[in-house]
Amino acid sequence: MSDKVLMKGNEALAEAAIMAGCRHYFGYPITPQTEVAAYMSKRMPKINGVFLQAESEIAAINMVIGVASTGKRVMTSSSSPGISLKSEGISYLAGCDLPALIVNVQRGGPGLGGIQPSQADYFHATRGAGHGDFHLLVLAPASVQEMVNLTFKAFDLAEKYRMPAMILSDGTMGQMMEPVSLDAGEIHEYDKSWALTGTKCERKPNIINSLCLQPEELERLNVERYERYKIVERDEVMYEEYMMDDADVCIVAFGVAARVSQNAIDKARAAGIKVGMIRPITLWPFPKKVLLDTADRVKAFISVELSMGQLIEDIELATRCKKPVLLCSRVGGMIPSTDNVLDKIKEADKIGGAN
């Protein structure tokens, strides 16, 4: 019998955060991520942690900034409309070089949208999570186990590179239950000499700040930050390949879209079509290199996504449009069916020979 437990994705993520040493959670109720807040409200008081329901998403992300300034692990979670509100604070986290975890359990948009699963915040997470030049670490779990593992990873990378990290999940990942092992590994210690801990009248004050009125200086800070981003892009890309060894067609999908794609690939393989999948686990840094390499040996790509064509742009950029990229998408809370994907695989397979 396995030592695994059945947990909802949202709850597993919350427990993983606690195991990763997070003792401060600030949030605001919104479907479909409310389990994270509810779980934290139960657990935190029992472990001398802080759960605080803020007056708004904006206040919550700024409370996160406050704790992050002191060098401690801290998180907030929300769903799409709430993440829009947090965008200001996310930009400040990036501008202040503060580590923190933001969880987005996505729902359909724009505006108030719906409450069913979506991936339509892909652009927001990978490009526009706030004003200014910056990146977020963006991790996309495709199972409840990954909700756990990537939460650990997100805290670790955020501290390692002093930047905010986002778990980009969706209503399916948040609501589903799967067996999960909560052993997620050791916690690394990073330099925190920058943290606001009080000077004890023994050192010069530390200042956490994103304001810089000298253009030359602000340019330098941006360039330095992007040097750090280059290292992240070099060292921290994560993806998983599925049946890619002999594939003529390559699906690219993350989260629940990858799970559906897996079924479609199994069906297509049974029908003799050589199709595989590259599943980005980090959406930023995006697995550009493997996709570019793959472009030389497949005849087409398919972007399977719960958005109107957002992921597809990164695939086209990464592969430099060497091969056609087809779009298979459902939106508004709808999820592509296995047959939707299968039809698209058949269409891609008809495209003239490889190379």
Query: How near is the Cβ of 24 to other proteins at its closest, in Å?
Result: 6
Of 105, 143, 111, 145, give the one whose Cα is nearest residue 125.
Answer: 105
Query: How near is the Cβ of 110 to other proteins at its closest, in Å?
Result: 18
User: β-strands 177-180, 239-242: how paired?
Assistant: unpaired
Report how far residue 10's alpha carbon sits from residue 175's, in angstroms, rounded to the nearest whole number: 7
Please answer whether residues 96 and 321 qualify as being in contact, where contact means their C-beta atoms are separated by less than 8 angstroms.
no
Report how far residue 239's alpha carbon sits from residue 221's, in angstroms, rounded to the nearest whole number: 30
Q: Tell me how crowded residue 334 is: count the other CB atoms within 10 A of its CB.
A: 15
Q: Which is nearer to other proteins, 54 or 290 (CB)?
A: 54
Q: Which is nearer to other proteins, 19 or 195 (CB)?
A: 195
Query: How near is the Cβ of 240 to other proteins at its closest, in Å?
Result: 12
Query: How near is the Cβ of 235 to other proteins at its closest, in Å?
Result: 28
Report how far residue 69's alpha carbon sits from residue 66's, in angstroms, rounded to the nearest whole number: 5
Query: How near is the Cβ of 324 to other proteins at its closest, in Å?
Result: 25
Q: Which is nearer to other proteins, 23 or 322 (CB)?
A: 23
Q: Which is nearer to other proteins, 18 or 60 (CB)?
A: 60
- H/E element holding 106? strand 100-106
Q: Which is nearer to other proteins, 208 or 348 (CB)?
A: 208
Residues that bind other proteins (CB under 8 A): 1-2, 4, 6, 24, 26, 31-32, 50, 52, 54-56, 58-60, 62-70, 72, 74, 88-89, 92, 96, 115-116, 171-172, 175-179, 196-202, 205-211, 256, 259-263, 266, 335, 337-338
Q: Which is nearer to other proteins, 32 or 285 (CB)?
A: 32
Query: How near is the Cβ of 43 to other proteins at its closest, in Å?
Result: 16
| Dihedral angle computed from the Cα positions of residues 353, 316, 237 and 6, in that order, rounded to the nearest 10 degrees | -80
Residues 6+ apart with CB under 8 A from 305: 119, 122, 253, 257, 311, 312, 327, 328, 329
